Amino acid sequence: MRFAPAPSGYLHVGSARSALFNWLFAKNSGGVFILRIEDTNAELAAPEYYDAITEPLKWLGLEWDEGPYFQSERRDLYLDAIDMLLQSGKAYFCNCSREQIDQRNKETRFQGGYDGYCRDRNLEETPTASVRFRTPDEGLIQVIDLIRGEVTFDNAELEDFVIRRANGTPVFLVANAVDDADMNITHVIRGEDLLNTTPKVLLLWESLDYGVPPIYAHLPLLVGDDRKKLSKRRHSVALGDFKDEGILPEAMVNYLALLGWGPTDEKEIRPIEEIATLFSLESVNKAPAFFDIKKLNHINSHYIAAMSTEVFADEASRYINKIGWKPPHFDMSTLEALTPFLQQRATRVSDVVPLLDWVFEDDLPQETDEKEINKMVKAMGAELVPDILEEAIGRLQDCQWDAETLSKEIREVGDELNTKSQVPVRIAVTGRRTGLPLFEPMAYLSRELVLRRLQTARSNLR
């Protein structure tokens, strides 16, 4: 089987899902997974796009067994095939412009695409002539599809499509047929958006006498919240972006496998190798699937929580470095000590920053969310808050400086005033209403810094 993406900038989650299903099927059936870059269109053949495809695949752990092959390097093969079709009369030259075709169709109210104007004009080859394939006038063509069954198309509905552009380059339909035959492709797994192009490839396949065609599997499309096919223009779907925000590859791949397919035993979160053993194309769904970030997040937080503390601490510090966050009090051993608390709370690796900023920064974070500010004001505004803060300041002046003592002292502040004391202290010290457990991280701050924050909060109350 092969995964054959067109290089058009970065890899997006839809393509990644196609790659994944190819990979799963290959693993499950012991097949060979071939990577082939469909760059028949010169504009897409820029070499820098290569990494944009392979890097995300490697990140996801979807290694290919063979390739990558570049169609731009195999052009002669396709051109030869086109010459054969020309010689056998199954293709012909055409010099119609799009405008001319549209014009004629408008006049004759013809709605089938190309009207076959040059079919029997026996045009000679010229530098500006394109080549069209002569589709049969009658008969049916059948696509064998493991997901959808046998899909039948009426040949008469198929227009004489272009197989070689006026600039002399072959289109992907030819490259598809030639390569799939040449590479002994047995299974083609791709998005449903390509289903309609399949009969054209099959017709070429027949005309080229390639024998038994591959078996197809057209995956249901991934859609966004508008229920439209995921697209780079409308949705944010770059795999690289998810990586940058701290989505783990294991989580991404696990989630993607759950779109259009599900295990029968109801255990959703499991390693991809295990999924491969359960996977089958026949049990893939037919209806489009909504790419749900919330569920991705949930799966990701599960994988984060399951990581060892060492690995996560490393992951977190790499993230901090990458975004160039250099807080004055940063300390690796403190980060390591707080890691278990972080893992329990972070949905994405990027969440560690708002969780930790008050620990490592000198200044308190500025809360900007209005709702949150209101809630904080409310939490801080209770009658007893000034007393709580003052009592806390007094007690922290010269107590022991460890989490246990801090917890005890603040608790006693509450007991003394017959109220709860943690939230006001938390807001004063962390600048936030919610977050990590208060006292463990607090013990890593200097007494002086904590007192300063408490005092600032106290005076702001006036």
Partner RNA sequence: GCCCCGUUCGUCUAGCGGCCUAGGACGCCACCCUCUCAAGGUGGUAGCACGGGUUCAAAUCCCGUACGGGGUACCA
Contacts of RNA in 135-154 (CB under 7 A)? 148-149, 151-154
Sheet holding 34-37, edge to edge: 66-70, 34-37, 2-3, 187-191, 215-219, 140-145, 149-154
Letter for the amino acid at 251? A
Tell me which of 232, 267, 286, 378 is the catalytic residue: 232
Is residue 287 involved in binding RNA (CB under 7 A)? yes
Q: Which of 104, 165, 395, 447 binds RNA (CB under 7 A)?
A: 165
The amino acid occupying position 239 is L
Using rule CB under 7 A, residue 193 touches RNA: yes
Q: Are 230 and 12 in contact (CB under 8 A)?
A: yes
Segment contacting RNA (CB under 7 A): 21-29, 301-309, 310-318, 359-367? 301-309
In the list 47, 113, 365, 394, the residue contacting RNA (rule: CB under 7 A) is 113
Binders of RNA in range 201-230 (CB under 7 A): 220-221, 223, 227-229
**Backbone φ/ψ region at 350: left (φ over 0), alpha (ψ -120 to 50), beta:** alpha
What is the smallest separation between the CB atom of 180 and RNA, expressed in angstroms? Answer: 13
The question of whether 232 is a catalytic residue gets the answer: yes
Binders of RNA among 372-411, rule CB under 7 A? 410-411
Residue tagged 């004055």 (tokens): 328
Q: Which residue has the tokens 């991280």?
A: 441
Task: Please give the structure tokens belonging to residue 60.
Answer: 């996801």
What mask of x and - would describe binding to RNA in positions 411 to 440, judged by CB under 7 A?
Answer: xxxxx----xxxx--x------xxxxxx--
* CA distance linking residue 41 with residue 58, whole number of Å: 25
Residue 27 CA to residue 113 CA, distance in Å, equals 41
Of 336-355, binders to RNA (CB under 7 A) are 344-345
Distance CA(68)–CA(53), nearest Å, equals: 10
By rule CB under 7 A, what string of x and - marks binding of each residue 230-259 to RNA?
Answer: ----------------------------xx
d(CA 169, CA 72): 9
Can residue 25 be called a binding residue for RNA (CB under 7 A)?
no
- Return the residue of 289, 313, 376, 392 that touches RNA, per CB under 7 A: 289
Return the residue of 9, 32, 44, 278 that touches RNA, per CB under 7 A: 44
What is the C-alpha radius of gyration for the chain, rounded to an integer number of angstroms?
31
Residue 282 is a binding residue for RNA (CB under 7 A): yes
Give catalytic residue positions. 232
